[in-house]
Amino acid sequence: MITVIEANTKKLIQEYVKFPFTLYKNHPYWVPPLISDELETFDKTKNPAFTSAEAYFYLAYKDNKVVGRIAAIINWNEVNDQQKKKVRFGWWDVIDDIEVTKALLEKVYELGRTHNLEYVEGPMGFSNLDKVGVLTEGFDEIGSMITWYNFPYYKEHLEQLGYVKEKEYLENKFPFSNVKPELFLKANELIKSRYGLRALNFNNNKDIMPYVDKMFDLFNASYANLSSFVAITDVQKEYFKKKYISFINPEYIKFVLDKQDNIVAFSIVMPSFSRALQKANGKLFPFGFYHLLKAKKESKEVLFYLIGIDPEYQSKGVTAIIFNEYYNTFKQKGILQCVRTPELEDNHAIHNMWKHFDPVTFRRRRTYRLSL
């Protein structure tokens, strides 16, 4: 018999966070999150996502053992402002038993029907800066700190229950040796001169902070036209600023400014922490912090996390400036591999931006949808 209960105590949330560590124990491609980060994500007093979202967390038990988990989420900005009558599900992990999946998803349906919502979509988090999608290809590739890994049967469970593909995401990579400076070196100077632009680089995180709010404003403007986008709120900006910016290598954040020092483009790259997180196994102490700091300094693989360009400057070659700055930084650091984090399959503008580097799609993931 399968029993589903709400994880609404500190002890149960701990179980909720730790279940994947049992499910994927010793798995070569699963990347464990930091337990402390996960606990903060689900803490309504700490995560500002709860100012505009409602979420409930559920555990499934069978024979007195945890066999699955799921989050049922409503992003009220999405429902009220965009009129998308959608309930989300995320942080979904389960043994290979479709009855467990069915029991967990029923809790999501209950939430959706309570609020007269029309459909369910997932897996996805609270916002566009959370993890997204069920992995459908690339199971033999190590995950990253900003994606979920899952077994192949996750996709099969959803499709057997009548879910259909909603959005497809591609993850691409290319060796740094594919980057030929002649592709953007001349364009870099030409675009700077034509539009009066300049690149801004950083050597310490404190100097970045005055620009971060404007960077998030540009992020909202850059992605506003995408069907899946929900804008980042002011409260979330403050939260992400404190939580993440101070940890990112300052030399991996690039801005492009106009003559009035307005940000017209930005990009954030992160070193790969995958192997370090596997060694940490969810804990910063006693040795996890050491592994993460070592990766921050020494990783030869980088992830292009975010890139945003003012709509007024899109299709005007501004990426040549960004690529030129990264080329110089990566060459100095001996970077070998560049990875792009999940990008919507129909975001043709961003795929076109990378085409000269001959990227290879090595993972695919998707969100699924079901009418209520």
Q: Do the domains at 2-171 and 174-362 have one common CATH topology?
A: yes
Q: What's the token pair of residue 274?
A: 């995958």
Q: 162: phi > 0 → left, psi -120 to 50 → alpha, else beta; which?
A: left
The confidence score (pLDDT) of residue 129 equals 81
Task: Spell out the domain ranges in the chain.
Answer: 2-171, 174-362
Residue 345, pLDDT > 80, answer yes
Beta bridge partners of 54: 74
> Span 286-306, mean pLDDT?
95
Residue 154 pLDDT grade (very low, low, confident, very high; cuts 50, 70, 90):
very high
> Span 215-234, mean pLDDT?
82
The confidence score (pLDDT) of residue 240 equals 81
Residue reference for tokens 């290979």: 96
CATH superfamily for 2-171 is Gcn5-related N-acetyltransferase (GNAT) (3.40.630.30)
Residue 128 pLDDT grade (very low, low, confident, very high; cuts 50, 70, 90):
confident
Say what the alpha-carbon torsion angle 218, 221, 222, 228 is, to the nearest 10 degrees.
130
The confidence score (pLDDT) of residue 254 equals 97
Spatial separation of the C-alpha atoms in residues 243 and 247, rounded to whole Å:
8
The confidence score (pLDDT) of residue 127 equals 85
Residue bearing the bigger pLDDT, 247 or 295: 295
Residue 227, pLDDT > 70, answer no
> Mind spelling out the 3-state secondary structure of the chain?
CEEEEECCCHHHHHHHHHHHHHHCCCCCCCCCCCHHHHHHHCCCCCCHHHHCEEEEEEEEEECCEEEEEEEEEEEHHHHHHCCCCEEEEEEEEECCCHHHHHHHHHHHHHHHHHCCCCEEEECECCCCCCCECEEEECCCCCCCCCCCCCCCHHHHHHHHCCCEEEEEEEEEEEEHHHCCHHHCHHHHHHHHHHHCCEEECCCCHHHCHHHHHHHHHHHHHHHCCCCCCCCCCHHHHHHHHHHCHHHCCHHHEEEEECCCCCEEEEEEEEECCHHHHHHHCCCCCCCHHHHHHHHHHHCCEEEEEEEEECHHHCCCCCHHHHHHHHHHHHHHHCCCEEEEEEEECCCHHHHHHHHHHCCEEEEEEEEEEEEC
> Span 77-92, mean pLDDT?
95
- Predicted structure pTM score: 0.94
Residue 57, pLDDT > 80, answer yes
Residue 350, pLDDT > 80, answer yes
What percent of the chain lies above the pLDDT cut of 70? 99
Spatial separation of the C-alpha atoms in residues 244 and 37, rounded to whole Å:
11
The confidence score (pLDDT) of residue 293 equals 94
The confidence score (pLDDT) of residue 228 equals 66
Torsional sign, CA 7, 133, 79, 41 = positive
Lowest-confidence region among 246-250, 276-280, 341-345: 246-250
Residue 244, pLDDT > 70, answer yes
Phi and psi at 35, nearest 5°, equal -60, -40
Give the mean pLDDT of the chain.
94
Residue 229, pLDDT > 80, answer no
Structural domain 174-362, CATH architecture: 3-Layer(aba) Sandwich (3.40)
> Span 89-107, mean pLDDT?
98
Residue 225, pLDDT > 80, answer no
Residue 221 makes CB contacts below 8 A (sequence gap 6+) with 308, 310, 311
The confidence score (pLDDT) of residue 303 equals 96
The confidence score (pLDDT) of residue 246 equals 76
